[in-house]
Structure formats: structure tokens, C-alpha cells
A and B are shown apart, each in its own frame.
Chain A
Amino acid sequence: MSLDITKINPHFEDVMPQEYIDLVKNGPFGNEKSQKDLGTFKELLEEHPLCAGCNLALAFRILVGSLPNPEDTIIVGSTGCSSLAFSQLALHNIHSVFGNQNAVATGLKTALRLRFPDKIKDVIVMAGDGATADIGLDMTLHSWFRGDKITTVMFDNELYANTGGQESGMSVRDTVLYMAPKGKKFNKINLPDMAIAAGCSYVAVVSTARTKPISDCFKKAVLITREIGPTYIQIYTPCPTNLKIKPYESKKVATDRSKSDYQFREHITDDAKKYLESLKP
């Protein structure tokens, strides 16, 4: 039934724009993809208005290209740069009020469970650091405390990029930004540890320096969320516009940080580990 909604009514096949025909014939629906397949199939996000060299755009592309079950996935976004790309995404998505994304996702997950009790519906939150760790920290933490089966992904560019470069709780101490000329006065929020303490079954910290871990960790997170509990992925996505980096150098910044203070790390509970083992053929 889920895949039926990605089939075109044959009486309108002759007038459907080619883009949609390609999505049906050569898209990811019913045909699981991962980051290594990018470029070989019709992607759910092909055009977006984000800046040249934007690492968020790269991470976004990898994530939506790695969805285990796109036809049964709903993404909840929030205010920020990512929301500009959401509207171009060929997937069900909801834009929530700034910071409310996890609360909206909780309601959505509950409604979907009641409406489709026999079906797996993946609810995934994708938002920036401002929405997740500052303005929406309350909503984020409480969804974890409640054990809501939601995957939360944070695009961590360590500032408010969309509004001109204010410091966020995720900015590194002493960082000087367009709208933080004296430098940030306190430490970066340690959200991964907070996620573990709040009861997330799986937590991963990755960066756009390497794309495979983003895809792998994200897939694991979505699968664990279905059966075990909330999961959290934090992706470092440096912003070339606000960090005054040349677009072609932004990946290097991610690489450098991934070798110093933004290293890959992963936390998985025993339950989650067992569950992933049980899925192996």
C-alpha cells in the first residue's frame, strides 16, 4: 500500500512532468539506497537554494539518499538554512515553528501509530543547532526523556547562519562571528552526552569530512529508533558564508576539525546492539 502512493494514475502518465516519472522509475522508493549510490538514481533533493560549498547541503543529500524506507518516512524540520531545502524535497515533510520540531514529531509519531498500527513509519527530525540545542532544547530533551521513537539529526554549523551569524550554544568558546564580535563567552554545549544521559539508544557524532559514516550511522539510527528508542546524530557542517571560508575549502575545515575536537564517536546501548545484530541476515 505504501508503495502504491508512488505509482502514477495511468490516465495521467502522459501529462506527468518527466521529473516525477524519473522518481517513480529510477528513484529510491522501494529500493534502498546509500551514499555510495548517489549519482546513480533520481534523488529526492536535486535543487536547493543553499550557498556554494554548504556542508549542510552535502549532509542533507547523503541523509535523504540513505533513508531505509523513504515512502514511509516523514521528516520534521525547523527554521534555519535546512528549511530552505526542505521545500524542494520530494518527500513528506513538515516545517515546524522554530524549536518545536521534536514536539511536533512526537505528536506525528503518535498519530501515525494510531492510524497505521501495522506499519512502520519513520519520523525523523532534521534541524540546525539553533533549533535543536538552543531554542528547542526543551522539546528535544523531553522527547528523549519520554523515549519517543524519533530519530533526531542536528546539522551543527555552530552558529545561526540564516540570520547573519549569531553565536549559538553549539559555537565553540571564543569564536568570533559577524554578530558575536567579542567572541563567545561560554563553552560549546555537549549535546551528545546529554542525549546519552537522557536515554537515547544510539548517539553518533560525525562530520562531512567523511560521507560513509554519515550514511551508516543514520541508517543504524533509523532502524534502532523503530524498535528500541530515540536516537541522535550530530553532524558537523561548517558554514562557508559565515565562517568566511572559500566554498572549495569548506570540506577541508570539516576534515581538520574531525581530526581535532570534532572526532567521530558513537554510543550504542546493549539493547540496540542486539537488535542490530538480529537484523543481520
Chain B
Amino acid sequence: MQKENYKVLKGPESYLPPAAALHGVSLPEKGEGLIEGKCVSENTCIQYIALKLLEAKNPTFFPGPLLLWRTTEYALQRGKLVREIAKEVNARVIPMPDYRPKYPMINPAVEINPNHPNLTIWHNKIDVGIFIGVHCHQANLALKIIRGGTDCYTIALCAEEGHEEANASLRNADNKILQKLLETIKEIKKGGAK
């Protein structure tokens, strides 16, 4: 139940942006997705994310530990799908292997600094960032920092309940949904985009 008409738009919003949840943005129900703080159907959200990725100048996937450090059959398939989507939209992949603050500095072209993601985003001029396989709390924290300090449009492909801090988020984004996203991207491309 949204209390007010707050839109989770791309930043920079402020040094410390308010938590989207405090503005009444709630997580999507099953079969739904979230676009800029508003719950929409899953299909609409997939379509929207596909378009966003195709329109982006410098889209970048940020796979987290839940994806990078898994070698189960399911994770392997998931990894393959993410790389296929990245290839299809010509996106880079910058991993977030753990949540250590990188000290004294990191190479932002090689990895994202989970505690200062805005610095990494600025440096690479990433206009669309996609989080996948990042633990819930850390994802929300990093997404909020990015929204606060940069003009990067954030997308969270969440295997759990979605992320209200992202500009667009799918929930229960399992391999079937990733496959659907891949197919949607291909279809849109056939139609003439990018």
C-alpha cells in the first residue's frame, strides 16, 4: 500500500537519499515487478527492463557473490544466461565478489566497490547498472548510494522479493524469468531497436 506518490527515479537525489520504503514504496507481490516505485505486472517489468538495457549507452552487470561463487547446475545455467543477456545488449560485467571495502583503492574497471559504489559508477560513466546475485541488504545499501550520488539507472534482478531501492526490479527472478528477459530482448532487437 503506497502512502504517497514517491517515484524512485535515477539520481543524483541527495547525499543521503531517503529510503524508498519510508516514502511508502512497497515490494511487489508475486507475479509483479517494480518500476520507479510502482508495482506493475511481471511481463510489463520484463519488457521495460529489456528496453532499458537496449537503450543504454554503457549498461553494466554487477553479479554478486550469490552468483559468482556457486557451481551448482542451477548457478551455472544462471551464469550462462546472464552472460548471454550481457552479450545481447552489449553490456560489461563488473563483479562484486564480496563486500569488503576495498582499501586503499580499487580499479573500478575491474570490480565494483560495494561500500562506495557511486565512485565506481561515476568513474566508468555507467548509465544502467544491473544487480544480480547480491545479498539483499547489501544490494539495497549499494542501490541507495548509487541513487543518491549518480545518474546511473539501477535494475535489480532479485531471486527473492525485489528491491524497492532500485529504479526497476523484478522479484523471484529465477532462470525462467532470465530466459524470458533474454527472449524479450531478442524480440525487441528483431523489431529494430539498437
Pick the contact of A7: B71, B94, B101 (CB < 8 A).
Answer: B71
Q: State whether A88 touches B93 (Cβ < 8 A).
A: no
Cα distance, A10 to B75, chains bound together (Å):
10
Residue among A8, A9, A10, A89 with the highest chain B CB neighbour number at 10 A: A9
Residues of A near B98 (CB, < 8 A) are: 90
A261 proximal to B (CB < 8 A):
no
Partner of A15, one of B75, B80, B93, B100: B93
Instruction: Check B100–A88 contact: CB distance below 8 A.
Output: yes
Contact A4 B68 (CB under 8 A): no
Q: Which of B96-126 touch A at CB < 8 Å?
A: 97-98, 100-101, 103-104, 107, 110-111
Give the residues in chain B near A15, CB-CB below 8 Å: 93-95
| A109: min CB distance to chain B, Å | 22
Given A16-B95, A47-B103, A90-B98, verify A11-B83 contact (CB < 8 Å).
Answer: yes
- How many chain A residues sit at the interface, stated as a range, is 20 to 34
1/0 contact trace for B60-104 toward A, CB 8 Å? 000100011111100110011011000000000111011011011
CB <8 Å contact, A9 and B75: yes
Contact at A9–B94, with CB atoms within 8 Å?
Answer: no
**Does A269 touch B at the CB level, under 8 Å?**
no
Question: Which B residues lie within 8 Å of A262 (CB)?
Answer: none
The verdict on A17 contacting B95 (CB below 8 Å), with A4-B71, A7-B71, A9-B70 known, is yes
Interface residues on B, range: 20 to 34
Task: Count contacts between A and B, CB distance < 8 Å.
Answer: 59
Do residues B67 and A9 form an inter-chain contact, with CB atoms below 8 A? Answer: yes
B76–A12 contact, CB under 8 A? no
Check if B100 sits within 8 Å of A16, measured CB to CB: no
Question: A16: nearest residue on chain B (CB-CB)?
Answer: B95
- A16 contacts across to B, CB distance below 8 A: 68, 95, 97
- The answer to whether A5 and B94 touch across the interface, beta carbons within 8 angstroms, is no
Closest to A93 in B: B100
| Cβ–Cβ < 8 Å partners of B100 in chain A | 87-90
Contact A8 B76 (CB under 8 A): no
CB nearest neighbor in A for B83: A11
- What is the 8 Å Cβ interface bit string for chain B, positions 118-158, against chain A (1 contact, 0 not)? 00000000000000000000000000000000000000000
**Structural contact, A87 and B101, CB atoms closer than 8 A:** yes
Q: Do B97 and A9 touch (CB < 8 A)?
A: no
Q: Which residues of B contact A48 (CB under 8 A)?
A: 103
Residues of B within 8 A of A6 (CB): 69
Residues of B at the A interface (CB closer than 8 Å) are 63, 67-72, 75-76, 79-80, 82-83, 93-95, 97-98, 100-101, 103-104, 107, 110-111
* Chain A to chain B contacts (Cβ below 8 Å), 24 pairs: A4-B72, A6-B69, A7-B71, A8-B68, A8-B69, A8-B71, A9-B67, A9-B69, A9-B70, A9-B75, A10-B71, A12-B63, A12-B67, A12-B79, A12-B83, A12-B93, A12-B95, A16-B95, A17-B95, A17-B110, A47-B103, A48-B103, A87-B100, A90-B100
